[in-house]
Amino acid sequence: YTHYFAAVAAAALYVGVAVLLSVKKKEERVKYLLVWLFCAGISVLAYLPWLPAAVSQVSQVRESYWILPLTLSCFGGCVKFMLKPSTGYQLLDYGLAVVLFALLAAFLIHAFLKRKDRERNPGRDRYAFLGLCVLAGTALFGIAVSFLMRPVFIYRYMLPAAGCFWFCFSYFLSRQKKALVLVPSLLVLLFVGAADYSAFVQGEVMKKEQMTRTEEELAKIGAEDIVLFNFDQVQAVTGWYLPRESYLYGGTPETLIREMFPGVYAVPGEEWIDQQLESGKTVWFIGSGLARDGILKEWQKRGIKSVETADSCLLERYWFNIYRLGRQP
């Protein structure tokens, strides 16, 4: 229920296990497939209460969605998302990603060459390889749907399957018995893990500082003031920190956002902003992205001036500037 791609990852896992069970001896295959059917059935039944919501949301996605179209570079992007660390040095990051990819390829080749050694490898490699396939299957499903229907996949949707990937990566690493291979590989993993953890901590500290500043800027907006947005997701998130009526310029807030925050509306018309300013209302504009500049230029032509009161505010994961609007003399 956490995310649809968690369900995709679970489905990929069940399919992979079914394939592995199908190659077992007949007497074992029947016993284990019955267990597989029982577990898969429980999973399906547990998901059924969410099915009406899933159908409704999928129908909305077919009409419109915010994710941009994918290109063929998305395949390389998936690999980079999983393997590229964050040391702060771009060349080092890409170099380490190449090293991790090479290590994984070497581990898989080693496992393939040793596949007939039943004593040292009682079939566990196949199940470990399945963990890698769960991630690949999740990504390929999202990419296929995005190309065949409409874009629904971004790289972070692989996170539900990332645990399977790294657990199995670690398993193949543990199969290396030579210290000359094992020790350097462990050092690379430890360095990448430490670098990523450090980058994560620094990012969270920065967000905390930025959030404090953003909340101070939002506190300057009066309870009776008019607040405009040009991005409905920012309007929704801000609705938690700024619980009052707000208006979306150039569009209509999504149905779910309107249900969560009954006080969000679309700007009634082009002249409505002029009417609010002429009536003496204080009007604020929380502008996001590149579209913000075009909107400000459009308003300037209509005699609406804007004064930037705060730039590069961060609210959770969204950046925006805050402007106070007024009539040009």
- The C-alpha atoms of residue 227 and residue 286 are separated, in whole angstroms, by 7
List the one residue out of 70, 255, 52 whose CA is nearest residue 152: 70
Q: How far apart are CA 247 and CA 257, in angstroms?
A: 12
Q: Residue-wise pLDDT tens for the chain (329 aa)?
A: 578 899 999 999 999 999 888 887 777 788 888 899 999 999 999 999 988 888 887 777 766 666 778 888 899 999 999 999 988 899 999 999 999 999 999 999 988 887 777 556 657 888 889 889 999 999 999 999 888 888 889 999 999 999 999 999 999 998 888 898 899 999 999 999 999 999 999 999 999 999 999 999 999 999 889 999 999 999 999 988 888 889 999 888 888 888 888 889 999 887 899 999 999 999 999 999 888 999 999 999 889 999 999 999 999 889 999 999 998 76
SS3 call for 289: coil
Residues of 12-37 as b/e, b for ≥16 C-beta within 10 angstroms?
Answer: bbbebbeebbeeeeeeeeeebeeebe
Mapped onto helix, strand or coil, the DSSP state of residue 306 is: strand
> DSSP code of 320?
E
- The answer to whether 325 and 305 have CB atoms below 8 angstroms apart is yes
**Sequence-separated contacts (24+) of 300-307 with Cβ below 8 Å:** 300/328, 302/270, 302/274, 303/274, 303/327, 303/328, 304/273, 304/274, 304/277, 304/328
What is the SS3 assignment for 18? helix
Distance of CA 33 to the CA centre of its chain: 34
